[in-house]
Structure 1
Amino acid sequence: MDAVRLRRLNRWQAEGAREDLADLYVESSDAEAGEEFNDRQKFLLRLADNVKLPGFDMLVAEAEALAGCVCGFSVPRDGSWWQGFDGPLPQNLEQLTASGHVFAILETLVHPHQHAHGLARRMQESLLTDHQASLGVTLVDESARRTLAALQGWGWREVGRIQREDDATPVRVLVLPLGERTEDHPDGLAHNDRTQRPG
């Protein structure tokens, strides 16, 4: 993995690399035979929408070729990202969102021939650290059991479900706390001076 170099792409560079990213998506996904084209098109549509989000950022991993990619955006402080959350939103998540220290991971792709476990985690942590996030969040489809298991193995934990207006089924909400773990806050979700709600 030492030969893998991480590089930031801005939204225009990400759009310019869209075909290579779509190829990586197909190679890294476990799509059923015959579904690759449709899945590729859906990925390209998602990418076109994602790059328009305020605060969008992407990190790619390169060896001899494109080895991985992670992208996301800074969650708006107004709490709109959490609309459709099943039940009351935990107070610590609300406070961290209002403080501007929550970053949503939208896609994580790793070429199957790379050291997927270590590279995916390294890319995610690097992107979250670059944005000085106290909390990473991501959404996972109910059917994506392999993805869910991988994320949980890297320290992500489920905190509930969100039902989006444009989606028929709810999705799982996972968080990756990056705060210091203490006796009072073993989950790493301490509401400290760095993450105060704006006055």
Structure 2
Amino acid sequence: MFLRRLTRWQAETQRESVAGLYAAAHRDPPAAAHALQREDFLRRFTGHDIQRPGFEMVIGSDPAPAGCCYGYPADREGEWPGTYAAGPWGDRVPPGEVGEAAAAGRLFLVAGLMVLPAYRRTGVATRLMQTLLLRSTATLALAVIAADNAPARAAFRSWGWRPWDGGPSGDGPAGPQPEAWIRPLP
């Protein structure tokens, strides 16, 4: 597996490959229950995620894309994107350690992690996440995962992440709310 960082421009030019990877990675349950349609993913990825200041992306290839991980620093002014604005704080910076890290410009949001089923449980996701966070100057990372995704929950726990009790919880209008997970960064 070859890992490489992509610049914002490279991520933009690879958007169709990333959307194909997203669709293929979310075919199997439990992720399929919460997967966006390919077009919705592509619209969010190119219209929002790539545009964020500090966008970082790591892709794993063998030789075709097998997985990727991407994210960006949280906005100091509290403009929280999509899944991060799902908590009781709305679009404001949340309270506590997450809000403090965001206000100080030291919070990194992991916006996406996907690995093709054939490469799961082989260490690819671990390497992607480590490589993504390696150069970050943040002191805390935040990720949101589907509430019913037990394999993702187990992976995040094994990487030293913990559930954030200030994140969304319980059932919403569309069923179980996604779970927010945090991890201090060195």
Give the TM-score band, short-chain normalised.
0.7 to 0.9
Measure, in 1, the Cα distance between the counterparts of 2:73 and 2:100.
Answer: 15
* Unaligned residue ranges in structure 2 (runs of 5+): none
Length-normalised TM-score, structure 2: 0.75
Aligned residue for 1:89?
Answer: 95
1:171 aligns with 2:168: no
Q: Quickly say closer, same or farther: Cα 1:100–1:139, change in 2 above 3 A.
A: same
Mapped contact 1:110–1:116 kept (Cα < 8 A): no
* Structure 1: gaps spanning 5 or more residues: 180-199
> Which whole-Å CA distance do the structure 1 matches of 2:77 and 2:117 have between them?
38
Q: 1:62 aligns to what? A: 61
Q: Which of 41, 44, 51 is equivalent to 2:42?
A: 44
Cross-structure match for 2:77: 78
Per-residue CA distance 1:136-190 (angstroms, 9 max, x = gap):
1011233434333332232221113238xxx9664321112124xxxxxxxxxxx
Q: Which amino acid aligns with 1:111?
A: L
1:31-79 alpha-carbon deviations (Å, 9 max, x no partner): 47xx8x9722222122122112222121111222212111111112234
Task: Name the structure 2 match of 1:162.
Answer: 168
* 1:184 match: none
**Partner Cα separation in structure 2 for residue 126 and residue 135 of structure 1:** 15
SS at match of 1:162: coil
Which amino acid counterpart does residue 175 of structure 1 have in structure 2? I
Q: Residue deviations 1:71-108, cap 9 Å, x none?
A: 11111223443756448722x33332222221101111
- Number of corresponding residues: 170
Quote the RMSD (CA, aligned, Å).
Answer: 2.9
For residues 2 and 22 of structure 2, the distance between their equivalents in structure 1, rounded to whole angstroms, comes to: 19
* Equivalent residue, structure 2, for 1:104: 109
Task: Give 3-state SS (helix, strand or coil) of 2:117's partner.
Answer: coil
Change (3 A) 1:80 1:38: closer
Task: Answer yes or no: is 1:118 the counterpart of 2:123.
Answer: yes
TM-score when normalising by structure 1: 0.71
Aligned-partner Cα distance in 2 for 1:74–1:22? 22
In the alignment, what sits opposite 2:142?
137
Q: Say which one has the larger Rg.
A: 1
Aligned: 1:16 with 2:16? no
